[in-house]
Chain A
Amino acid sequence: MDISLKHVDYRYQANTPFERLAIADVSIDIPTGVYMAIIGHTGSGKSTVLQHLNALLQPTKGSVSIGDQEIKAGLKNKNLKKIRQKVGIVFQFPEHQLFEETVEKDIMFGPMNFGVSESDAKERARIALHQVGLGEEVLQKSPFDLSGGQMRRVAIAGVLAMEPDVIVLDEPTAGLDPRGRKEVMDMFYDLHKERKLSTILVTHSMEDAARYADQIVIMQHGKVVQRGTPEEIFSAPGELVEMGLDVPEVVRFQLKLEDKLGIKLEKMFLTIDELSAAVTKVLSRGVRL
């Protein structure tokens, strides 16, 4: 399912003394099956963009098309529920949305709201729980008795069980330990690969963006300032640094190495493995250190 934002403006609290333009003239195309990272500082408008992806917010100006539905500014839009089933959002600290008596019921909540039968929802709950790496023994526990990391996974399972075509992740690993971080990110990546699930990751971690995304969009002060593949984005690290954004460690290493040795590798490498292979190749040709 393609999603595209066309010249979208969004104003918070329009017509009050607190009015604030959050995003201005934002156009982003999200084709089916892509893994896109949206990067920016706090207040850059990335969370506002995210909420347009399933019509939680409707543009003050411009339009958003989601699949075959178009949401235009100033119009009453119906049938948003269909959109919300297809575009699942995992909010920041999703564990805050848990409320049911048991983990199973909480995961079933989403699917059942969208009209899935109870027995099917139960089956989906089992599958989703498995996907997030939890065992079936937690199904009958209260979500509030789980550890923070487990709660996070249960909440994610609740979104996965809706079987969306597009999944939107807002800082899904905030507050997790490094291992939990990697597990959760890898899990989403596997889902993306296996199910061709379009994935949109909103983050300020350059490392994650470089490692997983096919496309990167960089936002600043409510505007899209750069977009491209990770290779394109990181090949001009100067601009990123100017914006106060980090460059992935691998890239930083490569830049320093090139600078020290006075050489230029054939391209920007985004993983340690690729970079070390390239460096080995150069060294084997014999560079004087």
Chain B
Amino acid sequence: MMDKMIFGRYVPADSVLHKMDPRSKILIIFLFVCIIFLANNAVTYALIGIYTFFMLGLSRVPVRFLYGGLKPVILLVLFTFILQLFFTKEGALLYELGPVKIYEEGLRQGIFISLRFFFLILMTSLLTLTTTPIEITDGLETLLHPLNKVRFPVHEMALMMSISLRFIPTLMQETDKIMKAQIARGVEFASGPFKERIKAVIPLLIPLFVSSFKRAEELAVAMEARGYRGGEGRTKYRELSWKKADSFQMVLLVLVTILLFLLRS
């Protein structure tokens, strides 16, 4: 049921992206999220598109799998498109059918905004697809390290993040298990009237909450038993190392940024 889910999922493979330093990957994604807003005409969107698909190709994540996982997202993208299409009332009138009027600007905005949305989702999933949660957290912790000076609890934040990432699959499994147990008791999650389906969520959510609290407590006890006392003086088992590929990727993105500045209208 959650088989096809790709968000937050790591797909092991032997690719350039997998081997990169998580710090550079995080920086790249961060920069990408900023520069995507620079694109405002067909050429710049094409450039962003080429870059995105180039990165996808580098990741060696099977396309079929990506497609399966992105299906629900594509629906959402289509929805944004339609919203933009019907509710932007600028530019020349292109088409009219009764109360439905489609304007030139609406079509343009619709295409651009849904493309932007789509590329953003692809790139951000690429980060989690090629980087283990633990690497992401390590990367973030190092990157945010300077914030320690202003008393921002970087280590605690990173720990919270890695714990929540770590428990996503566990929670999924648990959901699947409890769902099956309740289906066996006659609950119908996927069919029936809307009201009934909403009601069907209760026998799923309550056991999930109960087990999550229990798990949290057990984890806290286990951590204390192993002498965890926060980030002070803690050393790392995995050292991050910045390689040539990382520098190359950074340069590439900077080039893309410069091109975007030159080509945008």
Check if B184 sits within 8 Å of A88, measured CB to CB: yes
C-alpha spacing A89/B211, complex, angstroms: 21
Query: Does A253 touch B at the CB level, under 8 Å?
Result: no
Check if B182 sits within 8 Å of A97, measured CB to CB: yes
Report the minimal beta-carbon distance from B11 to chain A, rounded to whole angstroms.
6
A-B contact pairs, 19 of them (CB 8 A): A15-B68, A17-B11, A17-B61, A56-B184, A81-B186, A84-B185, A89-B184, A91-B184, A96-B181, A96-B207, A96-B210, A97-B182, A98-B207, A99-B206, A109-B185, A109-B203, A110-B186, A113-B187, A159-B185
- Can you name the residue of chain B whose Cβ is closest to the Cβ of A78? B191
Report the minimal beta-carbon distance from A189 to chain B, rounded to whole angstroms.
22
Scoring B61, B68, B178, B184 by chain A CB atoms within 10 A of each residue's CB, the highest score goes to: B184
Query: Does B183 touch A at the CB level, under 8 Å?
Result: yes
Query: Does B91 touch A at the CB level, under 8 Å?
Result: no
Report the minimal beta-carbon distance from A201 to chain B, rounded to whole angstroms.
16
Q: Point out the residue from B13, B177, B187 that lies within 8 Å of A96, measured CB to CB.
A: B177
Query: Does B62 touch A at the CB level, under 8 Å?
Result: yes
Known contacts A110-B185, A113-B187; A13 and B207 CB within 8 A of each other:
no
Known contacts A97-B207, A99-B202; A16 and B3 CB within 8 A of each other:
yes
Check if A84 sits within 8 Å of B186, measured CB to CB: yes
- Can you name the residue of chain B whose Cβ is closest to the Cβ of A54? B184
Query: Does B64 touch A at the CB level, under 8 Å?
Result: yes
Scoring B61, B178, B183 by chain A CB atoms within 10 A of each residue's CB, the highest score goes to: B183
Query: Does A162 touch B at the CB level, under 8 Å?
Result: yes
Q: In residues 170-194 of chain B, which contact A (Cβ within 8 Å)?
A: 174, 177-178, 180-188
Query: Does B7 touch A at the CB level, under 8 Å?
Result: no
Query: Given known contacts A85-B186, A97-B207, what 17 new A-B pairs fall within 8 Å (CB)?
Result: A12-B3, A16-B3, A17-B11, A17-B62, A17-B65, A54-B184, A84-B185, A89-B181, A89-B184, A96-B174, A96-B181, A96-B210, A99-B203, A99-B210, A110-B186, A113-B185, A113-B186
C-alpha spacing A14/B4, complex, angstroms: 9
- Can you name the residue of chain A whose Cβ is closest to the Cβ of B181? A97
Query: Does A40 touch B at the CB level, under 8 Å?
Result: no
Check if B68 sits within 8 Å of A81, measured CB to CB: no
Chain A residues near B11 (CB-CB < 8 A): 17
Check if A97 sits within 8 Å of B178, measured CB to CB: yes
C-alpha spacing A88/B181, complex, angstroms: 10
Chain B residues near A81 (CB-CB < 8 A): 186, 188
C-alpha spacing A12/B2, complex, angstroms: 11
Interface of A is mostly: mixed
Query: Does A144 touch B at the CB level, under 8 Å?
Result: yes
Check if A97 sits within 8 Å of B202, measured CB to CB: no
C-alpha spacing A266/B55, complex, angstroms: 72
Q: Number of residues in A with C-beta < 8 Å to the partner?
A: 29
- Can you name the residue of chain A whose Cβ is closest to the Cβ of B6? A16
Chain A residues near B203 (CB-CB < 8 A): 97, 99, 109
Scoring A12, A99, A158 by chain B CB atoms within 10 A of each residue's CB, the highest score goes to: A99
C-alpha spacing A162/B181, complex, angstroms: 13
Chain A residues near B188 (CB-CB < 8 A): 81
Q: In residues 53-68 of chain B, which contact A (Cβ within 8 Å)?
A: 61-62, 64-65, 68
Q: Point out the residue from A15, A16, A84 that lies within 8 Å of B184, measured CB to CB.
A: A84
Chain A residues near B13 (CB-CB < 8 A): 17
C-alpha spacing A88/B184, complex, angstroms: 7
Scoring B3, B181, B187 by chain A CB atoms within 10 A of each residue's CB, the highest score goes to: B181
- Can you name the residue of chain B whose Cβ is closest to the Cβ of A88? B184
Q: In residues 84-116 of chain B, which contact A (Cβ within 8 Å)?
A: none
C-alpha spacing A13/B65, complex, angstroms: 10
C-alpha spacing A54/B188, complex, angstroms: 14
C-alpha spacing A116/B203, complex, angstroms: 18
Chain A residues near B211 (CB-CB < 8 A): 96
Q: Which 6 A-B pairs have the closest CB atoms?
A: A113-B186, A99-B206, A110-B185, A97-B181, A13-B3, A89-B184
Check if A97 sits within 8 Å of B64, measured CB to CB: no
Chain A residues near B3 (CB-CB < 8 A): 12-14, 16, 18
Give 1 or 0 for each of B208-229: 1 = CB within 8 Å of chain A CB. 0011000000000000000000
Check if A99 sits within 8 Å of B184, measured CB to CB: no
Scoring A12, A17, A109, A159 by chain B CB atoms within 10 A of each residue's CB, the highest score goes to: A17
Chain B residues near A14 (CB-CB < 8 A): 3
Check if B180 sits within 8 Å of A51, measured CB to CB: yes
C-alpha spacing A16/B1, complex, angstroms: 13
Check if B177 sits within 8 Å of A16, measured CB to CB: no
Q: In residues 215-258 of chain B, which contact A (Cβ within 8 Å)?
A: none
Check if B186 sits within 8 Å of A99, measured CB to CB: no
Chain A residues near B174 (CB-CB < 8 A): 96
